[in-house]
Structure 1
Amino acid sequence: MISGKRRRVRAIFDDTFHRLARSEGDVIELLVKAVENIKPLCEVEKVKIAGTTYDVPSIVGRDRQQSLAIRWILEGAEEGRISKSTSLEKSSFEEIVDAYRQRGIAHMKRKNLHRLASVKRRFAHFRWPTRTGIKIFSWIATMWGGSIQFELQRARSNLQSLSTHTTGRKKWTRKRIPLHQGRGGFQMIQRAPFHSTRPTLTGGWELKDVVLPFLAPSSKVDPRTIISGVL
């Protein structure tokens, strides 16, 4: 709390935790589970391409997931205090319990963000131009389940521009370079030989080993490195 009353804030937290301990039991386990239930998997970022701004879905990092979850719980407690005309201690207690049981204002914000990312999935090819990115995004969609289904039609159609042919004994791939990357046309890239440790979502690889190159939009990732690993 910046420029606030520290004693008052401490009293609010103590009262909230005492309410949780009296009604729910293990406070630490309840708080951890509540934050885990509110953590968003995906969000929407604004990306400017050729003078036009698009809402592009992207994966949320671990630290941002936690900060968003805590922020939404606190905002939900404040909104509940105003709407129900109750004390902040009681509204905070109710919001944490609702988050633990996957309901409430914070959980609704998470669902709305996931729904917005689903609506904006047609712009996912601006953020996930490679096959690895599509695998990761589809994997996250299956984790969400239910009515949220990511088709990524434009992203998959972008992959159809990959045509393979054989030159002598070497296999090459012909990749179309999108115009929004600052250059157009085609580029010839030699295929990497098959090996059992290529990046996939199975086979002992963790999600962070595949996601990290795609988390920062400004990172300079050599497309040849990505293509050689997934083709």
Structure 2
Amino acid sequence: MLVNRIMKNGKKSLAYQIIYGAMRRIQTKTQTNPLLVLRQAIARVTPDVVVKARRIKGSTCQVPVEIGTAQGKALAIRWLLEASRKRHGPSMVSNLACELLDAAMGSGDVIRKREQVYKMAEANRAFVHFR
């Protein structure tokens, strides 16, 4: 799933090179299993609730909606890759490695985005009955 999200213009081998390079870089920085770091990063970023726009009587309301685990993981991976693409660094390999490490530690742009989504859901809790 991660490979297919990284891939652009059908270049799957390049996507694999990016992932393997990021995993090597994580291993050299932390001296731990990089798959554990990847799992921990995705687990910390995965949201339980998102807000969806619904039109009710002519006005648009942000309605909090619970999402499943598969959809939450897909959203977390999308957010991780989006944040690593926005990062200013020498290559996508280093950007992805740094973003995964930050997310696993509980900091970074992705964690901030997740907290922002939770704040939006909490602020619009009054509209939860419009599901």
- TM-score w.r.t. the length of structure 2 is 0.86
Q: 1:2: Cα distance to partner?
A: 4.6
Once the two structures are overlaid, the 10-residue window that deviates more, 44-53 or 54-63, is: 44-53
What percentage of aligned pairs have identical amino acids?
28
Structure 2 segments unaligned to the other structure (5+ residues): 1-6
Number of corresponding residues: 124
Partner Cα distance (2:17, 2:38) in 1: 18
**99, 103, 107: which one pairs with 1:99?**
103
**Pairing partner for 2:38 from 23, 31, 40:** 31
> What's the counterpart of residue 48 of structure 2?
41
Query: Closer, same or farther in 2 for the Cα pair 1:62/1:29, shift >3 Å?
Result: same
1:3 to 9, 14, 29: 9
What is residue 3 of structure 2 aligned with on the other side? none
CA RMSD of aligned residues (A): 1.5
Q: Following superposition, which runs of at least 4 residues in structure 1 exceed 4 angstroms of deviation?
A: none
Higher helix share: 2
Highest relative contact order (Cα 8 Å, sep 6+), 1 or 2? 2
User: In the alignment, does 2:25 pair up with 1:19?
Assistant: yes
Quick one: which of 69, 73, 80 aligns to 1:73?
Answer: 80
Deviation at 1:30, TM superposition (A): 1.2
* C-alpha deviation, 1:101, in angstroms: 0.6
1:60 alignment counterpart? 67
**Counterparts of 2:89 and 2:46, CA distance in 1:** 27
C-alpha deviation, 1:85, in angstroms: 3.7
Structure 2 CA distance for aligned equivalents of residues 54 and 8 of structure 1: 41
Letter in 2 for 1:117: A
The verdict on how the C-alpha distance between 1:112 and 1:124 changes in structure 2, with shifts beyond 3 A counting, is same
Query: Deviation string for 1:81-115 (max 9, x for gaps)?
Result: xxx24211111000000000111111111011111
Letter in 1 for 2:39: V
Alignment-derived partner of residue 123 in structure 1: 127
- Displacement of 1:121 in angstroms is 1.5
- 1:21 partner letter: Q
C-alpha distance in 2, partners of 1:85/1:22? Answer: 18
Corresponding residue to 1:89 among 66, 86, 93: 93
| Superposition TM-score, scaled by structure 1 size | 0.51
